């Protein structure tokens, strides 16, 4: 009796098509792929201050916040380009990263370096011209941190994940500075803990792959058990800090409601689902990419955002005629 293709066959066919996928689109397409536009969703953290400051419907502030997001998107693209330049040799032995434009040769190294310079100058120039100096300092700090990460800090276990978390905190800080809003320590704490949780999840996923140590030096010092503990601790602390924020008297006074705790189930579901993705997709390139393709995770995230907006902005159905 004839049967369909096995999982192994599908994987082999996918791998065999990878060079064709990598070669498609030419130099311009390769440059676009290098800056990872699909990863720019992380820069939505820049919008957290304007949403929780109840200013999202203020046109001028919204434009400033969105412009700040754009600056961080260009900087993120520069960081991804820098990472691929620095990691080119390690990526060439990775089962999927070797097909990225720079390690595959689709984007020559000299072109990548010029492209990196253009991105950095454009982003920091815009930050300096369009915002107060404080925003430029935050943007420059974000890029400097990532340069240090790419060149040295990513090789140091746990410190590498801490650098990733610091990058998310700087995004939130940048969003607050861009619209002149003071960011609460709860928001910084939740952001840092969530980023640590996601970072440890990514490392836990990476050590399960073949030649992990050759792909990332710090992976040689991680263990599955240690990362499982780190995931559990940071996941629990993220939820606990978020709950404390929703129940805080100042929070309830500012939003004039005690209902924000109702968004907690979505946070719990998101934490649980990410752990399932880390464990259930060992062959994927990154669990943070997989979670944005996961229907349940995306639906839960959308539900959380909708409930937050309804509660924070006290949106109520209008009465009929």
| Residue 136: Cβ-neighbour burial (10 angstroms; 0-12, 13-18, 19+) | buried
Determine the pLDDT at residue 101.
82
Determine the pLDDT at residue 285.
63
Residue 8 lies in a domain: no
Determine the pLDDT at residue 279.
79
- Is 282 found in the same domain as 217? yes
Residue 9 lies in a domain: no
Model confidence, pTM: 0.81
Q: Which domain holds residue 169?
A: 30-183
- Is 45 found in the same domain as 92? yes
Q: For the chain, 321 residues long, give each residue's pLDDT as a single digit of tens.
A: 444 444 343 334 334 444 444 445 588 888 888 888 888 888 999 999 998 888 888 899 999 999 999 999 999 999 999 988 888 877 787 777 787 888 888 888 888 899 999 999 999 999 988 899 999 999 999 999 999 988 888 888 889 899 999 999 999 999 999 999 888 899 999 999 999 999 898 888 887 765 555 556 667 778 888 888 999 999 999 999 999 999 999 888 888 888 889 899 999 999 999 888 887 765 666 777 778 788 888 899 999 988 888 888 875 544 433
- Is 199 found in the same domain as 96? no
Q: How many domains does the chain have?
A: 2
How many CB atoms sit inside 10 A of residue 26's CB? 11
Q: In CATH, what number is assigned to the domain containing residue 117?
A: 1.10.357.140
- Residue 309: phi and psi, rounded to 5, are -65, -45
- Is 143 found in the same domain as 206? no
Determine the pLDDT at residue 281.
64
- Is 120 found in the same domain as 163? yes
- Is 198 found in the same domain as 122? no
- Is 247 found in the same domain as 155? no
Instruction: Show which of 128, 155, 183 is a domain's final residue.
Output: 183
- Residue written as token pair 């993220």: 238
- Is 152 found in the same domain as 240? no
Residue 6 lies in a domain: no
Residue 109 lies in a domain: yes
Residue 104 lies in a domain: yes
What CA–CA distance (Å, rounded) separates 261 from 187? 15
Number of H helices, E strands in the chain: 16, 0
Sign of the alpha-carbon torsion through 52, 57, 62, 66: positive
Instruction: Show which of 129, 154, 183 is a domain's final residue.
Output: 183
Residue 312 lies in a domain: yes
Q: 224 is written with which tokens?
A: 């599955």
What CA–CA distance (Å, rounded) separates 52 from 50? 6
Instruction: Show which of 151, 183, 215 is a domain's final residue.
Output: 183
- Is 166 found in the same domain as 37? yes
The residues, any chain, with a CB within 8 Å of residue 63's CB and separated by 6 or more, are none
- Is 208 found in the same domain as 160? no
Residue 234 lies in a domain: yes
HSE, CB side, 13 Å, CA atoms: give it for residue 163.
21
- Is 165 found in the same domain as 79? yes
Residue 2 lies in a domain: no
Determine the pLDDT at residue 156.
86
- Is 280 found in the same domain as 215? yes
């Amino acid at each position: 009796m004839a049967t369909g293709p096995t999982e192994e066959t599908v994987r082999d066919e996918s791998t065999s098509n990878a060079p064709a996928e990598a070669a498609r689109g030419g130099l311009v397409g390769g440059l676009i792929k290098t800056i990872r536009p699909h990863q720019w969703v992380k820069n939505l953290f820049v919008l957290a201050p304007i949403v929780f400051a109840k200013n999202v419907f203020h046109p001028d502030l919204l434009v400033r916040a969105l412009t700040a997001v754009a600056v961080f998107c260009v900087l993120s693209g520069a960081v991804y380009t820098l990472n691929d330049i620095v990691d080119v040799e390690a990526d060439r032995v990775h089962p999927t990263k070797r097909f990225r434009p720079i390690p595959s040769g689709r984007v020559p190294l000299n072109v990548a370096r010029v492209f990196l310079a253009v991105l950095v100058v454009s982003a920091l120039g815009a930050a300096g011209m369009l915002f107060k100096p404080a925003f430029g300092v935050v943007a420059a700090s974000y890029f400097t941190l990532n340069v240090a990460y790419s060149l040295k800090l990513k090789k140091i276990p746990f410190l590498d994940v801490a650098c990733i978390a610091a990058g998310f905190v700087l995004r939130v800080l940048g969003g607050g500075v861009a619209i002149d809003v003071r960011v609460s320590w709860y928001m910084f704490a939740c952001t840092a803990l969530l980023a640590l949780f996601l970072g440890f999840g990514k490392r836990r996923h990476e050590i399960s792959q073949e030649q992990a140590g050759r792909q990332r030096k710090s992976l040689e010092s991680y263990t599955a058990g240690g990362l499982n503990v780190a995931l559990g601790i940071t996941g629990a602390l993220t939820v606990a800090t978020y709950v404390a924020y929703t129940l805080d008297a100042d929070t309830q006074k500012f939003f004039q409601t005690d209902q924000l705790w109702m968004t907690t189930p979505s946070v719990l579901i998101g934490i649980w689902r990410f752990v399932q993705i880390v464990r259930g997709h060992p062959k994927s390139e990154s669990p943070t990419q997989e979670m944005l393709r996961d229907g349940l995770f995306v639906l839960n995230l959308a539900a959380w955002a909708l409930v937050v907006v309804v509660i924070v902005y006290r949106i109520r159905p209008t009465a009929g005629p």
